[in-house]
Amino acid sequence: MVAFLRPVTLPLPGSPRRAPGAARRPWLSWLGLWPSVVIMLSACQAMAPVPEPAPPAVPPTVSITALYLQPAERSLIEGIRLYEEAAFARAETSLRRALNEGLADPRDRAAAQKYLAFITCAFARLAECETHFRQAFAADPQFRLDAKEIGHPIWGPVYRRVAAEAAQ
């Protein structure tokens, strides 16, 4: 080949010069990079996303139809419906029946006591209202009214007083 057509390889500034005719060893340049490669790969592993824990198992549900077939739960459902329809005397009877028939779930007992407290407070039977709130807390220590219910001008103050006592 003609000398002027050969490609010329110029050394980079600061790079060691090879003797003419010395064999090339490109793998030697990789040896110097090896620690850097190991550090970069380990950093990639450290940045790998942590797998999220599995979501908690969903508790088994109870069919509303099955609950409706149980006398106490049916009375509770009926009492809440009557309360929402403003048939307070009949709602009170159904809610008391639900408690007497033995509601199985403590949250249901607390709900029945809550509606009875609302009814008795609304009819100025405040001592009885306070007793129902106490019994709601006794049935379910996690019992709470929502913000709208707490803000009610009649039973709100009674609930706040009983809740403060229950918290102690």
CATH of the domain at 73: 1.25.40.10
pTM of the model: 0.64
Dig out the tokens for 145 from the structure: 């009214």
Residue 23 has what pLDDT? 55
pLDDT one digit per residue (tens) for the chain, 168 residues: 555 565 556 556 665 565 555 555 555 555 566 666 666 666 555 555 667 888 888 878 878 888 888 999 999 999 999 999 999 999 999 999 999 999 999 999 999 999 999 999 999 999 999 999 999 999 999 999 999 999 999 999 999 999 999 988
Contact, 145 vs 133, CB < 8 A? no
* Domain assignment of residue 110, yes or no: yes
Contact, 67 vs 73, CB < 8 A? yes
* Domain assignment of residue 17, yes or no: no
* Domain assignment of residue 58, yes or no: no
The continuous run of DSSP H or E covering 154 comes out as: none
- Structural domain of 115: 67-167
* Domain assignment of residue 99, yes or no: yes
* Domain assignment of residue 131, yes or no: yes
Rounded to the nearest angstrom, the gap between the alpha carbon of residue 93 and the centroid of all alpha carbons in its chain is 36
* Domain assignment of residue 48, yes or no: no
* Domain assignment of residue 38, yes or no: no
Q: Could you give the CA distance from residue 14 to residue 84 in angstroms, rounded to a whole number?
A: 89
Q: Domain total for the chain?
A: 1
Residue 5 has what pLDDT? 60
Q: Could you give the CA distance from residue 132 to residue 121 in angstroms, rounded to a whole number?
A: 10
* Domain assignment of residue 112, yes or no: yes
Return the SS3 of 70. Answer: coil
Residue 145 has what pLDDT? 95
